[in-house]
Amino acid sequence: MTPSAFTGLCEMLVRDGGLRPTLRATVEEQVAKTLYLLAHNVTNRELSFIFRRSGESVSRHFHVVLRAILGLYEIFIKQPDGSQVPSEIASNQRFYPYFKDCIGAIDGTHVRVKVSQSEAPKYRGRKDYPTQNVLAACSFDLKLTYVLAGWEGTTSDSRIMKEALNRQDPLKIPEGKYYLVDAGLMLRSGLITSYRGERYHLKEYSRNPPRNARELFNLRHASLRNAIERAFGVLKKRFPIISSSTESSYGIDTQKLIIFACCILHNYLRGVDPNDELLAQVDAEPRESTEEYRRGELI
């Protein structure tokens, strides 16, 4: 994060998040400690040593700043209204006019969590350790537009999607518009999957071009839907606390709030400090064997 981005964030947290200095800690110090923890996944003890503050002060400041960041949710996590064709589609003849009504991509990712031994089985899905399943939507500039966190790792993406569409604060799909989703989700109005039984992943087309119309659609579908996987990649690289291979020291409720906070900060930084080098690292990494995200660019 650049100095100007950090200063701007502090000002916004004061203005819109209600953050205030204390007798012994400025706003900047409180925010710096929180960002350091999110970006390095250190323990409270380590953070206390680095900033020369008591463990109680460090923990208190972290939770205060976390609440202030969550106060920015409606400012940075905005669902598209579908009034405009995304520039990434409008400016590319491979996608326009075929995908002109597409407003983004949706996928799920798993984040490691710490839960009690009795609850661990329902959080242990495809992984060997407990995770929570996070469903998210993003626009093609890699900004997250909807986030639903907290579901047990054994919960299917389809079930979470149904909840997202029917909850009190639902995922909204404007009339006549749609999101791109993978084959694991249902094909329905507003959600477009790829053709089943045809090649789909970008790697499969690296040496063999599409052979028919369905494969061509799948290639372009994968190229656009790859935005959500790249967004997850950047999010996890910026904030290792949500991609760590070690258990979090926070309870499940706080871990859920941390995910929302990281998503808010991700969108803020995509606007003021996108860090193309970080995105290049995500794109350069080999494709993972998990479904968390797959490498590729708009083809």
As for how many domains the chain has, the answer is: 2
Domain that holds residue 84: 80-248
Return the bridge partners of 38, or none: none
Structure token digits, residue 244: 């760590």
Give SS3 for 117: coil
Specify whether the CB–CB gap between 259 and 134 falls below 8 A: yes
Residue 168 in domain: yes
What is the Cα–Cα distance from 233 to 209, expressed in whole angstroms?
A: 26
Same domain, 57 and 87: no
Q: Provide the sign of the torsion angle of the four alpha carbons 224, 270, 165, 236, taken in this order.
A: positive
- Largest Cα–Cα distance of the chain, in whole Å? 68
Q: Is residue 272 part of a domain?
A: no
Check residue 247 and give its pLDDT.
Answer: 59
Q: Which of 78, 80, 65 is nearest to 12 (CA)?
A: 65
| Mean pLDDT, residues 188-198 taken together | 87
Reported as a single tens digit per residue, the pLDDT across 66-75 is 999 999 999 9
Whether the CB-CB separation of 103 and 171 falls below 8 Å is answered with no
Same domain, 183 and 86: yes
One domain, residues 46 and 158? no
pLDDT of residue 276: 84
In the predicted model, what is the mean pLDDT of residues 87-106? Answer: 95
Write out pLDDT tens, residues 100-147. Answer: 999 999 999 988 888 888 888 888 877 778 888 999 999 999 999 999
- Distance, CA of 247 to CA of 110 (rounded, Å): 13
pLDDT of residue 297 exceeding 50, the answer is no
Identify whether residues 90 and 227 lie together within a single domain.
Answer: yes
Please give the model's pTM, rounded to 2 decimal places: 0.90
Examine the domain organization and report whether 143 and 210 are in the same domain: yes
Domain shared by 110 and 217, yes or no = yes
Q: Which ranges of the chain does DSSP label H, i.e. alpha helix?
A: 3-15, 27-40, 44-51, 55-70, 73-76, 87-90, 120-123, 157-166, 213-238, 252-272, 276-284
Q: Rounded distance, CA 240 to CA 37, Å?
A: 9
pLDDT at 62 over 60: yes
Domain closes at, from 54, 71, 88: 71
Q: Are residues 244 and 184 in the same domain?
A: yes
Is 261:241 a contact under the CB 8 Å cutoff?
A: no
In a domain, 299, yes or no: no
Q: Which of 32-46, 201-215, 238-252 has the highest mean pLDDT?
A: 32-46
Task: Read off the tokens for 97.
Answer: 């006019």
Residues 136 and 44 reside in one and the same domain: no
**299 pLDDT exceeds 70?**
no
Q: Residues 56, 191: one domain? A: no
In a domain, 294, yes or no: no
Strand 102-112 and strand 178-180: pairing? parallel
Q: With cut-offs at 50, 70 and 90, classify the pLDDT of residue 198.
A: confident
Statement: residue 188 has pLDDT above 90:
no
pLDDT digits (tens, 9 = 90+) for 201-244: 777 777 778 888 998 998 999 999 999 999 999 999 999 998 77
Strand partners, 147: 136
